Amino acid sequence: MHTIHLLTCPVCNTIFTRNNKVLICSNHHSFDISSEGYVNLLRKKLPGDAKEMLVARRDFLQQGHYQPLSDLINELVYAHVSSSTSPLNILDAGCGEGYYLARLQQSLLARNDQVQCTGLDISKDAIRMAAKRYKQACFVVANIKERLVFVDDAMQVVLNIFAPRNPAEFARVLASGGLLLVVIPGSDHLQQLRATLHLLNIEEDKEQKVVAQFSPLFDFVAASPLRYTLEFGRKEIMQALMMTPNYWHLSQEVREMAEKMDEMETTVSFCCLTFIRR
C-alpha cells in the first residue's frame, strides 16, 4: 500500500507503520493487509452494497454506458490539477468497485506520473473487487459517515460520486485550495425507466441542497450538467435496477415487469458540482 503515511487508526487516530502484512498504530492497534492488497479499517461490520449490486454495476459500467460521465470527471479534475507540480493524492470517498477512480488515475498518469489514488468504501465486497482489478490504486474499507481514516490535509482532490456525503471530514482531509467533486443524479435521470417501473424518485432540489450542505466549509465553483439518451436492452434494464438503491426496494412484481421488457430508451442525467476547500 503506497498511502500508509496518509492513513490513521480508526480507534485512536494515530498514524501507522507497516510490519510485513500488518499495519500497526502508535498505540499497537493492528490491521491486516489482505492478499488483494486492501486494508479493512471498519471498527464494526456494517452493510454496504450487496455483491449482486456490485456485479451488475461493474458489468454495466464496463460496457461504457457512463463513460461520458467518467470522461467529464477526468477533465474537471485535470483542469484543477494541471498546473500542480507536487505529487497528487486523490481520494474517492464511496468508490464502489473502483471504475471512476481507476479511469481517472489512468488519465492522470498519462499526463503526470506523480499521482496516488485511494478508494474508500464501506462495502468489503466492493473494495475486494476494486483491489483485485485496479492494482495501481490503494483501497480501504471504512465508514464514510465517521471520521475518515486519513491525516489532516492529506488530499488534493476528493471525489464523491453517488455516495453519502460528510462535509466536515471532506474539509479536514482536503488541503487548503483542494478540489471536491460531488456527482449527483440529475432530476430526470432514468426518468422513463423510473416512471414505467414506479422506482424511487430523485430528491427534489437535490443540487441546491447539496450546495447548501457544503457552503459553510467550501466555495462553490460550478455545476457541470451532463445529459444524454441510452438504448437499454433487457440486460441493461435489469442492471440499472440492480446497481442502484432501487435494489433494496424491488418487489417481485417490479422484477417480473422488468424481465418482460425487451428494450427501452431512457434519459441519463448527471450533475458534477465542483467546490474548493477554503
Please determine, for residue 119, whether its predicted confidence score (pLDDT) is greater than 90: yes
Strands (E), 72-173: 88-93, 115-121, 138-141, 155-161
Tens of pLDDT, residue by residue over 11-47, are 999 999 999 999 999 999 999 999 999 999 998 887 7
Q: Please state the domain count of the chain.
A: 1
Residue among 52, 41, 58 at smallest CA distance from 133: 58
**Which cell goes with 199?**
422506482
CATH number at residue 137: 3.40.50.150
At 10, the pLDDT band (50, 70, 90 cuts) reads: very high
- What is d(CA 12, CA 79) in angstroms, rounded to the nearest whole number? 37
Please determine, for residue 186, whether its predicted confidence score (pLDDT) is greater than 90: yes
Query: pTM of this prediction?
Result: 0.95
Tell me the longest C-alpha to C-alpha distance in the chain: 58
- What is d(CA 114, CA 103) in angstroms, rounded to the nearest whole number? 16
| Alpha-helix residue ranges (DSSP H) falling in 82-233 | 99-109, 124-133, 167-173, 191-197, 206-214
Q: How many helices (H) and strands (E) does the chain have?
A: 9, 11
Please determine, for residue 113, whether its predicted confidence score (pLDDT) is greater than 70: no
Domain span including residue 64: 4-277
Looking at residue 245, what is its pLDDT?
84
Tens of pLDDT, residue by residue over 40-82, are 999 888 778 889 999 999 999 999 999 999 999 999 999 999 8
**Which cell goes with 157?**
482532490
Tens of pLDDT, residue by residue over 189-213, are 999 998 998 888 888 999 999 999 9
At 255, the pLDDT band (50, 70, 90 cuts) reads: confident
Please determine, for residue 1, whether its predicted confidence score (pLDDT) is greater than 70: no
